[in-house]
Amino acid sequence: MSGDHGKKTFVLKGIGVSPGIVTGKAYLFDPVDIQLSFYKLNDASLIPVEIKRFKNALKESERQLLEIQNDLKKTKINEPLYVIDVHILILNDKNFITRTIKYIRRLGINAEWAVRLVLDRYKKIFAGVEDSYISGRISDIEYVTQRVLRNLSGKKRETIWELGDDVIVIAQDISPADTAQLKMEKVMGFATDFGGRTSHTAIVARSMEIPAVAGLDNITQLVHTTDNVIVDGTTGLVIVNPHPEMLKRYEVKKLHYAATQEEYLKYAKLPAVTKDNYHIKIGGNIEFVEEIPMAITHGAEHVGLYRTEFIYITSEKLPTEEDHFNNYRQVVEAKELNWSTIRTFDLGGDKFPSNQKPLKELNPQMGLRAIRFCLREVELFKTQLRAIWRVGAIGKVKILFPMISGVEEVIEAKKLLREAREELVAEGVQVASEMEIGAMIEVPSAVVIADKLAREVDFFSIGTNDLIQYALAIDRSNEHLTYLYEPLHPAVLRLLKRVVDEAHKANIRVAMCGEMAGDPLCCLILLGMELDELSMNHLDIPRIKRIIRKSSLEEAKVLLEKAMSFSIASDVRTYVQDYMTQHFPQEFQKDED
């Protein structure tokens, strides 16, 4: 099919990393867009001239990076600052400088050529490193050398603000310094070859609330500046040179999306109280502190799940106690939040600190992960526990232990938590006077012994993502099994009901923070069970709140009883689906596509 200007229309599928739809002109952001000239020096007297040019280019590069860093300091985006520090360190690296000068002298070549040779040498060395994290760091060296080369050539990169219009940035990936150069007010969306939900592009896009799709493989080779593109950050689709019909449809979708967002957001901060006065507290799940403002505008009353493992996954070295503390501080200082639930890191399985090699496990999901990993790596765990105690002195935090499968794990974790506090007190450090302790209920054995576990903790938080995978023996990340992954499976409903009932018998609160909590279809089922709190991706909050406000606990209990009377999962689904679409037609409107 051909789209506008007779150009070929094509659709690319990536990962939607920041929701929303945007249509506009592409801007190909290519950091290697300069033509270099390489030549031999025909006179030895030119050698000092080349060395001087090289040194000037280094100086100019450092000046530019410092300027970018200064500009960034005025914004709230802190993370790139550290990366720019690394880039400055590379610029000043002795080996890099002396080797380049040596090449100019020995080979009698111009500075551009010498820099290129040094880069090629580094590339070869890094390619031979087995550790993929280390070998991936060549991108920082490439970034720095490109800047030096650009300064040698005297060329300035064409910047976005020189183009009059707003644009959709197409890039391999966006480095932190790139973001600073991009004049973000001109950027309406991102589409990148690399990256996923944790990439820098994704984090920035989400915090700026602009749609983005990452992991598109080779979009930079397929799209040209000024091509028309549609970026749908919700579905992960990018449509290049859309057919006019398609564009029209997307314009309608975009308006629809914006209108529903606006409509939802208007009431997002109202509490989730049913018509018969049952109040469910609604929290937001976060992976990065940058998500907090969005969570608050979407109606999060607290943070119900902070997945802290991302601090390890995204940082270059093991985070220190100070790193943890500074990070959590930004969470608890958000005044609009009633409390923040910090889940201790769920590393292991398929999530490892960036500087550590994953263990080779046959069944990583059932392997040495989460609390098991923490109880083995006690020092790593204690570093985090200390930071949580310290931040508890500033704002209200609750602690949540993941993957609890038996009482002994809770007892052991609590012992370490107590020790961490005692150590801090002995050191004269300010700590919280008390802290609520929660257990994630995401392993079937924890459901079976929920009555025993309830005596050890102050609250439960049900992690349905894992609980369903373990209960139904369905790998949550296996795309061939998604048809079996059924939150409304009778077995799952029984497990959930048991957890809530046992928690309430023991007089403790029970929350849910798995994806099921944000699924509008399951909303009344969960209400009928009388969960106390639901925590979800912020985008789901407004709709869930609306459904709860339009319903009653009484009707939810009737629906639940009926749903639990079926033996077959698909019967439950059909029944619940019919009920919800009939009773809440507005909330289940199909997107006109």
Q: Tell me whether residue 295 or residue 513 sits nearer to ligand PEP (CB atom).
A: 513
Take residue 16 and report the two structure tokens written for it.
């939607």
Give buried/exposed letters for 354-386 (b at 16+ CB in 10 A, else e): beeeeeeeeebeebebbbbbbbebeebbbbbbb
List binders of Mg ion among 454-483 (CB under 5 A).
Answer: 463, 466
Chosen from ligand PEP, Mg ion, none, partner binding at 260 (C-beta under 5 to 8 Å by type): none
Q: Tell me whether residue 149 or residue 511 sits nearer to ligand PEP (CB atom).
A: 511
Cα 16 to the center of its chain, rounded Å = 11
The CB-of-88 to ligand PEP minimum distance in angstroms stands at 35
Q: Tell me whether residue 369 or residue 390 sits nearer to Mg ion (CB atom).
A: 369
Contact 508, 454 (CB under 8 A): yes
The CB-of-547 to Mg ion minimum distance in angstroms stands at 25
Contact 588, 580 (CB under 8 A): yes
Which residues of this chain interact with ligand PEP, rule CB under 6 A?
A: 305, 307, 346, 442, 463-466, 513-514
The CB-of-409 to ligand PEP minimum distance in angstroms stands at 16
Q: Tell me whether residue 168 or residue 440 sits nearer to Mg ion (CB atom).
A: 440
The CB-of-440 to Mg ion minimum distance in angstroms stands at 6
Q: Tell me whether residue 50 or residue 346 sits nearer to ligand PEP (CB atom).
A: 346
Chosen from Mg ion, ligand PEP, none, partner binding at 513 (C-beta under 5 to 8 Å by type): ligand PEP
Q: Tell me whether residue 343 or residue 386 sits nearer to Mg ion (CB atom).
A: 343
Which x/- pattern, by CB under 5 A, does the window 398-437 give for Mg ion? ----------------------------------------
Contact 450, 457 (CB under 8 A): no
The CB-of-522 to ligand PEP minimum distance in angstroms stands at 13
Q: Tell me whether residue 12 or residue 17 sits nearer to ligand PEP (CB atom).
A: 17
- Read off the amino acid at residue 336: E
Contact 46, 256 (CB under 8 A): no
Residue 390: count other Cβ atoms within 10 Å of its Cβ: 23
Give buried/exposed letters for 537-568 (b at 16+ CB in 10 A, else e): bbbbbbbbbbbbeebbbebbbebbeebeebee
Question: Which amino acids are annotated catalytic?
Answer: 200, 513
Q: Tell me whether residue 79 or residue 346 sits nearer to ligand PEP (CB atom).
A: 346
The CB-of-279 to ligand PEP minimum distance in angstroms stands at 22
DSSP string, 379-428: HHHHHHHHHHHHHHTTS-EEEEE-S--SHHHHHHHHHHHHHHHHHHHHTT
The CB-of-465 to ligand PEP minimum distance in angstroms stands at 3
Q: How far apart are CA 60 and CA 385, in angstroms?
A: 44
Q: How far apart are CA 163 and CA 363, in angstroms?
A: 51
Q: Tell me whether residue 57 or residue 513 sits nearer to ligand PEP (CB atom).
A: 513
3-state secondary structure of 213: strand
**How far is CA 165 from each of CA 19, 124, 183, 196, rounded to the nearest angstrom?**
22, 41, 12, 27
Q: Tell me whether residue 12 or residue 347 sits nearer to Mg ion (CB atom).
A: 347
Selection from 406, 405, 475, 407 nearest residue 443 by Cα: 405
What would you report as the CA-atom Rg of the chain, rounded to the nearest whole angstrom?
A: 27
Q: How far apart are CA 113 and CA 100, in angstroms?
A: 9
The CB-of-491 to ligand PEP minimum distance in angstroms stands at 16
Check binding of 176 to Mg ion (CB under 5 A).
Answer: no
The CB-of-337 to Mg ion minimum distance in angstroms stands at 22
3-state secondary structure of 499: helix
Chosen from ligand PEP, Mg ion, none, partner binding at 464 (C-beta under 5 to 8 Å by type): ligand PEP
Q: How far apart are CA 495 and CA 478, in angstroms?
A: 23
The CB-of-506 to ligand PEP minimum distance in angstroms stands at 22
Q: How far apart are CA 23 and CA 27, in angstroms?
A: 12
Q: How far apart are CA 541 and CA 524, in angstroms?
A: 14
Q: Which stretch binds Mg ion (CB under 5 A): 150-158, 187-195, 416-424, 441-449?
A: 441-449
DSSP string, 465-483: HHHHHHHHT--TT-GGGGG
Q: How far apart are CA 113 and CA 398, in angstroms?
A: 57
Residue 97: count other Cβ atoms within 10 Å of its Cβ: 16
Q: How far apart are CA 410 and CA 508, in angstroms?
A: 16
Residue whose CB is nearest to Mg ion in the complex, by number: 466
Residues that bind Mg ion (CB under 5 A): 442, 463, 466
